[in-house]
Amino acid sequence: MILITCPHCGPRQESEFTYGGDGANARPAAPEDVDDAAWIDYLHLRDNHKGPHDELWQHVQGCRRWLQVRRDVVTHQVISCHVLSADIADLADSADMVEGER
Ligand SMILES: [Zn+2]
C-alpha cells in the first residue's frame, strides 16, 4: 500500500487517488514545431527509472486536486507531495493527459 500525504487532506491510502502519469514528461512548448519522432516520444515513450520518480496523482476521493508526487518506485515510499499550479492542473484535467481512463 502506498500512503500519500495530500497537502490539503493529510495522509490517505493510494486507493483514494488516480494515477495521472509521468510527472517529468514535459509537453513541448510549441507542439506544432516538433517532428513526428519527438511527438511520439512525448506521447508514448517513457523511461523506466529505478528509484525516485516524479508522478502526477489526482485526489479523486478527496479534494480532487492534482498533485506532483515524488515516489521511490522500488520501495513505494512517497518522498514529497505538492499541489500542482492551477495552469498545470488544468492541463492534467484534459482527458488526453490522464492515463488509464480510456
Ligand atoms: Zn486531498
The contacts of residue 73 (CB under 8 Å, 6+ apart) are 49, 50, 51, 52, 53
Helix (H) / strand (E) element for 39: namely helix 36-44
Q: What is the 83 CA–ligand 1 centroid distance (Å)?
A: 9
- Give domain limits for the chain: 3-28+39-97
What confidence score (pLDDT) does residue 87 get?
61
**Ion ligand 1 contact residues with beta carbon within 5 A:** 6, 8-9, 59, 62-63
Ligand 1 centroid – CA 66 distance (Å): 9
- Report the pLDDT value the prediction gives residue 95, as an integer from 0 to 100: 45
| Distance between Cα 62 and ligand 1 center (Å) | 5
Question: Per-residue pLDDT for the chain (102 aa), expressed as one digit of tens each?
Answer: 899 999 999 999 999 999 999 988 888 989 999 999 999 999 999 888 899 999 999 999 999 999 999 999 999 999 999 998 766 666 666 644 444 443
Please give the CATH superfamily to which domain 3-28+39-97 belongs. Folate-binding superfamily (3.30.2270.10)
Nine-digit cell at 48? 523506466
The predicted structure's pLDDT at residue 27: 87
pTM, 2 dp = 0.77
Closest CA to 71 of 92, 49, 98: 49
